[in-house]
Amino acid sequence: MEKKWWHNKIAYQIYPKSFQDTNGDGIGDLKGIIQHLDYLQKLGIGILWISPVYVSPCADQGYDIADYYQIDPMFGTMEDMEELLKEAKKRDINVLMDLVVNHCSDEHEWFQKACQNPEGEYGKYFYFAKKENGKLPCNWRSYFGGSVWEPLPGTDWYYYHSFHKKQPDLNWENPNVRQEIYKMMNWWLEKGLGGFRVDAIINIKKPLPFCDFPADRTDGTCDMSVVVNHARGVGEFLGEMRDETFQKYNAFSVGEVFNEKEEELSDFMGENGYFSTMFDFSQTNEGKSPKGWYDSKIPTVDAYKKCCFNSQRKAKGIGMYSNIIENHDEPRGVSYYLPKAGRNDKGKKLLGTVYFLLKGIPFIYQGQELGMENMTFTDIDQIDDISSIAEYEECMRVGLTKEEAMKVISQYSRDNGRTPFQWDNTENAGFTTGTPWLAVNPDYVRINAKAQEENPDSVLQYYRKLSALRRKPEYEDALIYGEVEPYMESEEGLMAYYRRGEKQDFLIAGNFTEEEKKIYVDDTKEKEVVLTNDQVEWKEKELILKPFQVAVLRCQKGN
């Protein structure tokens, strides 16, 4: 595998609205990010993905962009952005912006012009259609519920949106649209970005002409995953985008790709793939139902493990996935994947270790390094997220009580990951001196960065060690480039694997149960425990893992 500058980096995602407010308006801002760059450097971060900060009416928290060339005043100014890039560079941190180009905002100039004349030049930037014999062109259901077709008021036209109705899809079939997008990307790359996280990119290719697919809900609509599976030829767009943008700058790109086709994996993230890497969402998708959150199941530890290992097998010899336990679209990983008995600091370190040392680029979502947990929401009024609101409506539609529905929403809501960062135990967790745009999780008095800074056994200090371990140049052959080899795979509640290097092997073993687990380790090799969340105990050739213990063993090659 040809070495790239991003292979040995650790990435961090910031959700700017919730990271740090510096002017008391209750909204996190770019100055707030600059203020904490030293904190990120101490965590060993080399890639920093910032969720959208462009001008946006914020129907979907900035994922609806009205002007790609300006910073939204709520986050600061272009000078702040340039300052951030400069200060990040000093600390060897490469900044990624979020590239949201499957759609823009209905308040973008292009769409405004398109609405004036759906058959004109800008109409071709989007998808407009009329009913035929009283029927819409297709029965697809947008990700946030309801038809993908929205009537254009005062006309008999409809426009297409894969997500919210305030997020009209851009027509990638139109070469002018593609050129506009590449021009904008290069404009940002010229400013010194390290690259982009690429939003919802699989959706840019539609299976055309529009047609119905079998319905999976009683309203006659069908899930988007079915639509995506029928689309062919997205690679032509993606290859062109790579050649016209990323490649020229040796930029890093991480694709948010859902429903990828296995046979296309090497085109997507192999040597000279469309992207440097893409997120492994296999665990995120596990248990999710097309019917909605109310019908979804949280994966067990064994299902989680299976997903991780399957993805590793697929990527073997091809490239590196980006590994996550959470992001701004998901509940907190520790509240989701850990069995109840392990939802404590010990369990958080365990989950942190097993995903972080898989082959791939580890991404840490803000607050994950503190072990931030889900919020408990008891009323839909506490929710801001449009996706949660749509899911709540679906719960109501199928007859759940308000209480049952709120249990579902609490479990899955994207707002779990969007509550403000918990810096200290002062009012509003040190996030703002004003009123936070979304309530702070009351557990901040217990879980916050300042307290963890002072405690050598904290989750934060553990993440720093984990990060240092992966960045150790002497371990690179195994921890960066070594393949994953599952170990004792059929043992329930245990997730164990080797990372095989040229000079050394590492064994990562984590016990997700309340009973001890015995791990046989070949003792013809010299071995050393380089990280654990508990005391290490050996019984002859067996390593004894206590409940929720994880251990990372370095094994010297040769006998």
Least distance to Ca ion, CB of residue 377, Å: 24
Among 139, 135, 117, 138, which residue's Cα sits nearest to residue 126?
117
Binding partner selected for residue 80 from ligand TEU, Ca ion, none, CB under the kind-specific 5 to 8 Å limit: none
- Binding flag, residue 163, ligand TEU (CB under 6 A): yes
Active-site entry in 21, 60, 98, 256 = 256
In the complex, least distance from residue 436 CB atom to Ca ion, rounded to whole angstroms: 10
In this structure, the number of other CB atoms found within 10 A of the CB of residue 326 comes to: 25
For ligand TEU, the closer of residues 256 and 369 by Cβ is 256
Chain mean position to CA 372: 16
Q: What is the chain's length?
A: 559
Q: Whose CA is closest to 468, among 356, 300, 311?
A: 356
Q: Residue 61 or 458: which CB sits closer to ligand TEU? A: 61
CA distances from 486 to 294, 304, 358, 481 (A): 33, 13, 10, 16
Closer residue to ligand TEU, CB minimum distance, 199 or 394: 199
Look up 522 and say whether it is catalytic: no
What does the per-residue mask of binding to ligand TEU show for 372-391, with x meaning CB under 6 A? ---------------x----
Q: Is 60 or 476 the residue whose CB approaches ligand TEU more closely?
A: 60
What does the alpha-carbon distance between residue 245 and residue 288 come to, in Å, rounded to a whole number? Answer: 34
Q: How far is the CB of 330 from Ca ion (least distance, A)?
A: 25
Q: Is 393 in the site for ligand TEU (CB under 6 A)?
A: no
To ligand TEU, the closest distance from the beta carbon of 384 in angstroms equals 12
Tell me the residue type at 251: A
Structure-token match 């493990």, residue found: 305
414 part of the interface to ligand TEU, by CB under 6 A:
yes
Q: Active-site residue among 80, 106, 150, 199? A: 199
Distance, in Å, from the CA atom of 189 to the CA atom of 145, rounded to the nearest integer, reads 35
The listed partner (Ca ion, ligand TEU, none) that binds 506, CB under 5 to 8 Å by sort, is: none
H/E stretch holding 336 reads helix 333-336
Partner whose footprint covers residue 27, from Ca ion, ligand TEU, none (CB < 5 to 8 Å by kind)? Ca ion
User: Phi and psi (nearest 5°) for 32?
Assistant: -65, -35
Under rule CB under 6 A, residue 101 binds ligand TEU:
no
Nearest to ligand TEU of 391, 505 (CB atom): 391
Has 476 been annotated as catalytic? no
Binding site for Ca ion (CB under 5 A): 21, 23, 25, 27, 29
User: 453 and 423 in contact (C-beta within 8 Å)?
Assistant: no
At closest approach, how far in Å is the CB of 23 from Ca ion? Answer: 5
Q: Binding to ligand TEU by residue 143, rule CB under 6 A? A: yes
Instruction: Report if residue 551 touches ligand TEU, rule: CB under 6 A.
Output: no
Q: In 3D, which of 94, 50, 44 has the Cα closest to residue 369?
A: 44
Helix (H) or strand (E) run with residue 247 in it: helix 246-249
Peptide bond into 137 cis (omega under 30): no
Non-local CB neighbours of 408 within 8 Å, separated by 6+ positions: 293, 294, 391, 395, 400
Contact call for residue 200 and ligand TEU (CB under 6 A): yes
What DSSP assignment string belongs to 107-126?
Answer: TSHHHHHHHH-TTSTGGGGS
Nearer to ligand TEU, 181 or 550 (CB): 181
Residue 295, interface with ligand TEU (CB under 6 A)?
A: no
- 302 to 361, contacts with ligand TEU by CB under 6 A? 328-329
Interaxial angle between packed helices 386-397 and 402-412, expressed in degrees from 0 to 180 and rounded to the nearest 10: 150
- Contact call for residue 60 and ligand TEU (CB under 6 A): yes
Q: Using CB under 6 A, list all residues that contact ligand TEU.
A: 60, 63, 100, 143, 163, 199-200, 256, 258, 328-329, 387, 414
Q: Which residues have a catalytic role annotated? A: 199, 256
